Amino acid sequence: MTYIELSAWFVGAAVVAAVVLSVVSGRYRAHLGAMAATIAVLFILTAVFDTVMIATGLFHYSADHLLGVHIGLAPLEDFAYPLAGAVLLPTLWAALRARRRARVGIRATDEEPS
């Protein structure tokens, strides 16, 4: 299995879970703009820090299993994990908040207790 196949399965599972969590959370969904900003920041951080870690020899990849596309020294496949996290975690947070609101009985117009 190549790194891109592994990444595709990982991102696919995260997207499916995010869709399910969005349905569960109802109207308290994660904001797409916030997700997009998070993805942009995480991609920049991944490019910088993966390049540094690869350059210092902390880890390396088998060239046989890579696509060959790099951003800095970071292979394109490395960007799947921050993408999956930036998609999955906000939807999980929104679903948990919706569940808490339903459990506590907070209406949409009420302020959340501290």
Average pLDDT, integer, range 23-40: 85
Which ranges of 65-106 does DSSP label H, i.e. alpha helix? 80-104
Q: What sign has the CA pseudo-torsion 20, 23, 29, 34?
A: positive
pLDDT at 65: 83
What are the extents of the domains in the chain?
3-104
Structure tokens at 97: 């908040």
pLDDT at 67: 86
pLDDT at 113: 55
Please write the tens of the pLDDT for every residue from 44-54: 999 999 999 99
- Residue 50, helix vs strand vs coil: helix
Beta bridge partners of 74: 71
**At residue 107, does pLDDT exceed 80?**
no
Percent of the chain with pLDDT over 70: 92
Question: Of residues 85 and 114, which shows the higher confidence score?
Answer: 85
What does the CA dihedral 74, 80, 81, 87 come to, rounded to 10 degrees? 140
Which residues lie closer than 8 Å to 32 by C-beta, 6 or more apart? none
Question: Taking the model in full, what pTM does it have?
Answer: 0.75
